[in-house]
């Protein structure tokens, strides 16, 4: 691993997250947040082969926050929602508030503590992240560590979090002297809420003539061709209705959900057989991940004597191309089959469900509605996010670092993303780390009668897929 490659990647990290304003979708999540039930927090658990030197670790983090300014910035809200919230440097930034270390005696204890960290709400007036280094985690032949990073969705979504972390980690165990720094410390911008609101209002007023013109044009169009407009509106409405209502009912085995008792589980699997199963079923790694979770839930339901045949699963759909490329994604629900025994057939069925979403013109409905919803009081946004049937499980696949990585001299052994539980009983994130799939599962413990059994079943589901492709 050349140091040059590291430098290049770090240069990229400095340019990360350039925009000052929150995007409409980030704004919606920011305003609608009701932690932890409607939370936007992502937690990353990084297994390390040894405890890094604490001083070096703090220095590295200090450097990282200098490189990626966002980590030293806070969100400033306008007093009335005329403008989107804005990022501004936090003049009171203190690394000591955000980074600390603890000692644990087992990995389970670390995961339990990580869940507690994740459940506590952020101080919304400070930079939106928190890191804890857990020392004393036993590993083969000694003592390892785990770094738990909790990050707000407004700062980075799970995909961005993993990207950011992979960018900041080093390709070498040794220290790199003369690491690049971000731009010279920009003067903390003294943005306040009143100014923001006024500026937003001024912008709104200046765009009013344009807005009026557009509205008149739209109305004129509707008056001339009422049939076309009505037909198009009906089709859009039908699509919204299908997306919101035409999936399986939530499973009674995964309720009642409170969203207040998070339990973190982790699994790992070799990537090659998972990709092989995906290929056999004509699908992608995402489809295989969904099929894997369904395999686990299928076993759990069988053990509980339940005859649920399908359940709603939340997936991420690329709006650009089907094959996981592109930058625009929509969250949507599919009916995940529980009745299919053959894992390859299950992958194919999931593939069909996911691709079928592409016929829905309303797939982007939440994205499209976000700017409008954002001008309304926060509870409107909160309920907009709740309108859909909540899925039983969210399943997400994220590309992690392709090669070996180090943090302050400790080797990264695994990287698990534990997503929030916005109404779901489980959130599953599969991160590809080198040739391994690191699977992090956040479970709403109040919704699951037998947590141990669920863990066993999910492990069997992972095993089923890896052996089918092996």
Q: Enumerate binding residues for other proteins (CB under 8 A).
A: 234, 237-242, 245-246, 282, 319-322, 335, 337, 340, 345, 348-349, 351-353, 355-356, 358-361
In the complex, the smallest distance separating the C-beta of residue 309 from other proteins, rounded to whole angstroms, is 11
Cβ neighbourhood burial of 239 (10 Å; 0-12, 13-18, 19+):
middle
In the complex, the smallest distance separating the C-beta of residue 434 from other proteins, rounded to whole angstroms, is 28
| Cα distance between residue 67 and residue 10, in whole Å | 8
In the complex, the smallest distance separating the C-beta of residue 55 from other proteins, rounded to whole angstroms, is 51
In the complex, the smallest distance separating the C-beta of residue 408 from other proteins, rounded to whole angstroms, is 44
Q: How many CB atoms lie within 10 A of CB 349?
A: 24
Which CB, 192 or 320, lies closer to other proteins? 320
Cα 260 to Cα 118, 168, 288, 331, 424, distances in angstroms: 11, 32, 29, 23, 12
Cβ neighbourhood burial of 308 (10 Å; 0-12, 13-18, 19+):
buried
In the complex, the smallest distance separating the C-beta of residue 359 from other proteins, rounded to whole angstroms, is 4
In the complex, the smallest distance separating the C-beta of residue 247 from other proteins, rounded to whole angstroms, is 11
| Cα distance between residue 179 and residue 177, in whole Å | 6
| Cα distance between residue 435 and residue 457, in whole Å | 24
370: number of CA atoms within 13 Å, CB side? 17
In the complex, the smallest distance separating the C-beta of residue 342 from other proteins, rounded to whole angstroms, is 9
Which CB, 242 or 386, lies closer to other proteins? 242
Which CB, 79 or 234, lies closer to other proteins? 234
Which CB, 112 or 322, lies closer to other proteins? 322
Which CB, 217 or 241, lies closer to other proteins? 241
Which CB, 20 or 238, lies closer to other proteins? 238
Which CB, 323 or 450, lies closer to other proteins? 323
| Cα distance between residue 382 and residue 31, in whole Å | 8
Q: Are 433 and 263 in contact (CB under 8 A)?
A: no
Q: Are 132 and 101 in contact (CB under 8 A)?
A: yes
In the complex, the smallest distance separating the C-beta of residue 228 from other proteins, rounded to whole angstroms, is 13
Which CB, 303 or 309, lies closer to other proteins? 309
Which CB, 311 or 431, lies closer to other proteins? 311
Per-residue DSSP letters for 70-92?
Answer: GGGEEEE--SSTTS--EEEE-TT
In the complex, the smallest distance separating the C-beta of residue 335 from other proteins, rounded to whole angstroms, is 7
Closest CA to 48 of 164, 169, 150: 169
Q: Are 290 and 340 in contact (CB under 8 A)?
A: no
Which CB, 338 or 348, lies closer to other proteins? 348
| Cα distance between residue 374 and residue 336, in whole Å | 32
Residue 438 DSSP one-character state: E
| Cα distance between residue 184 and residue 18, in whole Å | 15
Angle CA 117–118–120, to nearest 5:
70
Which CB, 316 or 351, lies closer to other proteins? 351
In the complex, the smallest distance separating the C-beta of residue 214 from other proteins, rounded to whole angstroms, is 24
Please report the sign of the dihedral spanned by the C-alpha atoms of residue 365, residue 74, residue 159, residue 103: negative
In the complex, the smallest distance separating the C-beta of residue 21 from other proteins, rounded to whole angstroms, is 29
| Cα distance between residue 236 and residue 396, in whole Å | 27
| Cα distance between residue 377 and residue 342, in whole Å | 48
Q: Name all contacts of 123-127 with Cβ < 8 Å and 24+ positions apart.
A: 124/74, 124/75, 125/74, 126/74, 126/90, 126/92, 126/93, 126/97, 126/98, 127/65, 127/70, 127/71, 127/72, 127/73, 127/74, 127/90, 127/93, 127/98, 127/155
Which CB, 192 or 323, lies closer to other proteins? 323
In the complex, the smallest distance separating the C-beta of residue 287 from other proteins, rounded to whole angstroms, is 10
């Amino acid at each position: 691993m050349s140091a040059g490659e590291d430098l290049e990647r770090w240069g990229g990290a400095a340019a990360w997250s350039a925009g000052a304003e929150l995007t409409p979708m980030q704004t919606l999540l920011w305003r609608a947040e009701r932690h932890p039930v409607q939370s936007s927090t992502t937690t990353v658990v990084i297994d390390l082969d040894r405890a890094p030197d604490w001083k070096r670790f703090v220095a590295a983090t200090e450097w990282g926050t200098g490189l990626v300014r966002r980590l030293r910035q806070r969100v400033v809200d306008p007093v009335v929602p005329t403008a989107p919230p804005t990022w501004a440097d936090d003049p009171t930034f203190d690394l000591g508030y955000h980074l600390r270390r603890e000692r644990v005696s087992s990995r389970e204890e670390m995961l339990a503590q990580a869940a507690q960290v994740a459940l506590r709400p952020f101080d919304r007036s400070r930079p939106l992240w928190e890191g804890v280094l857990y020392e004393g985690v036993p590993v083969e032949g000694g003592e390892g560590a785990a770094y738990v990073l909790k990050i707000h969705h407004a700062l980075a979504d799970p995909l961005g979090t993993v990207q950011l972390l992979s960018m900041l980690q080093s390709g070498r165990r040794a220290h790199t002297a003369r690491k690049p720094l971000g731009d010279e410390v920009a003067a903390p911008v003294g943005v306040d809420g009143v100014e923001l609101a006024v500026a937003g209002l001024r912008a709104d007023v200046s765009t009013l003539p344009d807005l009026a013109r557009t509205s008149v044009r739209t109305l004129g169009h509707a008056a001339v061709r009422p049939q076309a407009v009505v037909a198009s509106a009906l089709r859009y409405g039908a699509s919204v209705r299908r997306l919101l209502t035409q999936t399986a009912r939530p499973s009674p085995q995964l309720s009642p959900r409170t969203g207040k008792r998070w339990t973190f589980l982790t699994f790992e699997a070799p990537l090659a057989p998972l990709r092989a199963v995906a290929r056999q079923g004509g699908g992608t790694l995402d489809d295989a991940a969904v099929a894997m979770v369904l395999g686990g839930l299928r076993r759990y339901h069988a053990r509980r004597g339940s005859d649920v045949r399908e359940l709603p699963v939340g997936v991420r759909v690329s709006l650009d191309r089907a094959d996981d490329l592109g930058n625009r994604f929509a969250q949507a629900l599919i009916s995940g089959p529980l009745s299919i025994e053959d894992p390859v057939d299950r992958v194919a069925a999931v593939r069909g469900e996911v691709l079928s979403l592409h016929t829905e013109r309303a797939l982007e409905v939440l994205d499209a509605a976000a700017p409008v919803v954002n001008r309304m009081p926060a509870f409107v946004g909160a309920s907009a996010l709740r309108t859909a049937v909540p899925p039983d499980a969210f399943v997400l696949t994220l590309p992690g670092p392709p090669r070996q990585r180090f943090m302050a001299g400790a080797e990264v052994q695994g990287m698990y993303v534990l997503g929030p539980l916005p109404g779901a009983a489980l959130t599953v994130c599969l991160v590809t780390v080198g040739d391994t799939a690191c699977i992090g599962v956040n479970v709403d413990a109040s919704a699951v009668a037998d947590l141990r059994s669920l863990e066993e079943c999910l492990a069997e589901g992972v095993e089923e897929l890896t052996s089918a492709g092996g």
